[in-house]
Amino acid sequence: MEEYAEFYNDFMQEIYVASDVGEDFKESQFFTKSMEYLIDEGVVEDYYHLPFRHKNLGMKIDGYALIEDREIFTAFICDFNDDYILKTLTQSDIEANIRRVTKFIKQSIYKKLYSDLEETSPGYEIAYFLYKNQHRFSSINIVIVSNKVLSSRVKELPSIEVENYKVNTDIWEIKRFYEIESSKNKKETLLIDFETEFNTTIPALPAHISTSPYHSYLCVLNGNILADLYGKYGARLLESNVRSFLQFRGNINKGIRKTINENPSMFFAYNNGITATAEDIELDTNNKIKKLKNFQIVNGGQTTASLFNTRKNDNVSLDDIFVQMKLTIINDGKSNDVVPNISRFSNTQNKVSEADFFSNDIYHIRLEEKSRRIWAPAKEGELKKTKWFYERARGQYLELQSKLTPAKKKEFKEIHPNSQKFSKTDLAKFLMVWEEKPHIVSRGAQKNFVEFGKLIVPIWNKNDKEFNDLYYQHSIAKIIIFKTCDKMVFKEPWYGGYKANIVAYTLSTISFLLNQEQKSIDFSKIWKQQEIDALFISELKMVSRYINDYITNTPEKFTNVSEWCKKDSCWTKLQDILINRDELKLSQEFLDSLVSKAEVKYEEREAKKEQKIDNAMELLAKMYKLHFNVWKDMIEWGNQKNLLNPSQIQLLNLIPSGKYPSDRQSKKILETILYLEDEGMISVWK
């Protein structure tokens, strides 16, 4: 257990940031954090967090998810240890948790449990869903998430029976979280044994030369194998960008479905096949694939899911269906860089936009650079300044500490406290509420992140100077507001659930009302103070209570509050109420404490000028590092296109000839390079 103790301590520090609120809030924070792992791993696409406990009846559940196309209902139960010391998850702990959640499921499906519960209770929502939708799933997954470490004595999970359903159990605990964070590919290892699991092997034709850094194979898979793979592993097989783009909800490609049903022998000819990667391969003596490690489909996710769904929905055989597969083995630790590129270049069939590959965009690189460089002001009464840590890739926070001495690691944590670490999906959530998209935020981290990308990419392409130091500082201010509101809502006497939805709608509502007044929060002030004042908190309390009443008073056709909050109509109806009924007003005292939109615009204009200088300095630094051949190719390209005059050629020859240009000459050289790129030359900065 010692090797996990330090990770546990770091892990829990994020939870203990909210220690003044109470144990229930810590458990809620832990559950949310755990779900981030499950979504990243493709275990579920989204989830509902609706914690319910009934000690007298021995029932407990923390949330659920429905994987509709695979007909799986997933029930989550949280085993949380509020202690600084890492504890062991024992066999008896596991059995007790599974017993509680199983009883809840059975009572909900067969005994109409919802009729005995308050309609405003989170338990009512899950119980009602189970009873009304029991026909929509054929299997049940019970997932325990725990901040304990699984005991080595646990050899197998309890066998559970629920009439008419196949039941599986799974455990996500500290050891599993640690292995994901510390693994180079930042994903849990997935080892597929085709012989053992599917009673088959896959013929593979080598398609690489001996000097190639990566080995590639051309393969042909029977449709049943691909469908079985998806049935067992689901979205875990799909590279994350593809998974985010496709957002499976039981949809079947009509062309694929028609070919399977009417002309299966032509499927191979009509279909483009799939492109896949793996980190390791095991072949038998006949060059057939026995095992694949971390198999990922980077193109062909729609084909894969459609085969599974067509077989299930139409009860059709896939015996005569064959699919070609291009498989590349990437086993040198570069999968994080190479796999998304293969995905980018091979995904043309579905017209995946650049926004769908936003996760690796330069926007995040710039934000990461600013988070490493910019010191946050010390709070009042504190002496030490700190930095907010933008974790552009999962595991960066731990990875940067792994090579440090104990003293340096302590210093690192003092500068970058756990409470000031945030991820890409966190950032998207914190910012999208101020774009007045609470319904999008309510749809879950992955969907919100994709929509955030669609918003940011066009702005970046138009003028990247928008994303400057001020933008970063204001982003941190928005994080501070969100986290403050999150903790505050949980402590309110009226609070009964749906915190994520309440917070999102509260902040978007404040933004909407301020826009009506041509006012803005003074984000620069919040950045300088690193906290919000009592007046703002008072306003948050007033608005959040109104929002709680609004979202829980659902229209007749919506019994599920969480589902109602995801609808466009939930937000548009609220906007209509805010404009026409005049039911909610911000206090004059609060409005007087704000800044005007004009003041914000001026501040932003000045920040763009500074970013323009920063951009130029960055390019100048890169310019001096360009290889001799790059300069040579640049001059040759410019001459072929008749774009360069003699003085420009002379300038471009200065640095490769070993001479140091003056400041004025450097500026002219940079202008010449940018001019050539505008005329169509491939960028030299990549």
* Contact residues for 411 (Cβ-Cβ < 8 A; gap 6+): none
Share of the chain above pLDDT 70, in %: 90
pLDDT of residue 682: 81
What does residue 299 show for φ and ψ, rounded to 5 degrees? Answer: -150, 130
Beta bridge partners of 293: 191, 280
Q: What's residue 350's pLDDT?
A: 45
- Give the closest residue to 331 by CA, choosing from 427, 215, 232: 215
Residue 346 has a pLDDT of 54
For residue range 413-431, list pLDDT tens digits in order: 899 998 899 999 899 999 9
Spatial distance between the Cα atoms of 201 and 122, rounded to a whole number of angstroms = 47
Provide the pLDDT for residue 355: 45
- In this prediction, residue 334 has a pLDDT band, given cuts at 50, 70 and 90, of low
Residue 248: per-residue pLDDT: 43
Cβ–Cβ < 8 Å for 482, 430: yes
Closest-CA residue to 438 (of 569, 249, 536, 579): 569
- The per-residue DSSP string of 233-297 comes to HGGGGB-HHHHHHH--SS---HHHHHHHHH-GGGHHHH---EEEEESEEEE-TTSEEEEEES-EE
Which tens digits make up the pLDDT trace of 195-217? 999 999 999 999 987 777 788 99
Q: What is the pLDDT of residue 501?
A: 95
For 61, the enclosing helix (H) or strand (E) is strand 59-67
Nearest-angstrom CA–CA distance, 398 and 409: 10
Q: According to the model, what pLDDT value does residue 122 have?
A: 83
* Domain-wise residue ranges, the chain: 2-182, 191-352, 362-593, 601-678
pLDDT band at 434 (very low <50, low <70, confident <90, very high): very high
> Given this model, what pLDDT does residue 523 score?
93
For residue 374, what are the CA distances in angstroms to 134, 141, 389, 464?
52, 45, 10, 19
CA dist 682 and 672 (Å) reads: 14
Of the candidates 213, 422, 449, the residue with the CA atom closest to the CA atom of residue 335: 213
288-293 vs 280-283, strand pairing mode: antiparallel
Q: Supply the pTM of this predicted model.
A: 0.71
**pLDDT above 70: residue 360:** no
Half-sphere exposure of 649 (CA within 13 A, CB side): 13
Q: What is the mean pLDDT of residues 523-545?
A: 95
> What distance in Å separates the CA atoms of residue 101 and residue 123, rounded to the nearest whole number?
11
pLDDT at 200: 94
Q: Comparing 360 with 461, which gets the higher pLDDT?
A: 461
Q: Which of 135-139, 217-221, 648-652 has the lowest mean pLDDT?
A: 648-652
Q: Is the pLDDT of residue 616 over 70?
A: no
pLDDT classification of 21: cutoffs 50, 70, 90: low
What confidence score (pLDDT) does residue 607 get?
66
- pLDDT (mean) for 232-244: 71
pLDDT at 359: 58
Residue 605 has pLDDT above 70, yes or no: yes
DSSP string, 143-159: EEEESSEE-TT--SPPP
Q: For residue 407, what are the CA distances in angstroms to 182, 403, 410, 412, 571?
A: 21, 12, 5, 9, 50
Element at 203 (helix H, strand E):
strand 202-206
Chain centroid, CA 188 distance in Å: 15
Instruction: Read off φ and ψ for residue 69, nearest 5 degrees.
Output: -70, -25
Give the lowest-confidence range in 468-477, 509-518, 659-668: 659-668
Backbone angles phi, psi at 444, to 5 degrees: 110, 160
Find the angle CA(465)-CA(469)-CA(471) to the nearest 5 degrees.
75
Comparing CA positions, the residue from 486, 511, 488 lying closest to residue 501 is: 486
Q: What is the pLDDT of residue 349?
A: 46
Angle at 529 between CA 528 and CA 534, to 5 degrees: 140
The pLDDT mean for the chain works out to 86
Rounded to the nearest angstrom, the gap between the alpha carbon of residue 329 and the centroid of all alpha carbons in its chain is: 25
pLDDT at 582: 76
In Å, what is the CA distance from 643 to each residue of 548, 628, 637, 655?
63, 20, 9, 20
- Give 160-191 pLDDT, tens digit per residue: 889 989 999 999 999 999 888 877 556 678 89
Length of the chain: 686
Work out the average pLDDT over 138-144: 95
pLDDT band (50, 70, 90) for residue 608 = low
DSSP state of 642: T
Q: pLDDT of 265-323, one tens digit each?
A: 899 998 889 999 998 999 999 999 999 998 988 888 888 988 998 998 889 999 999 99
* Rounded-to-integer distance, Cα 498 and Cα 29, Å: 13
Residue 245 pLDDT level (bands cut at 50, 70, 90):
very low
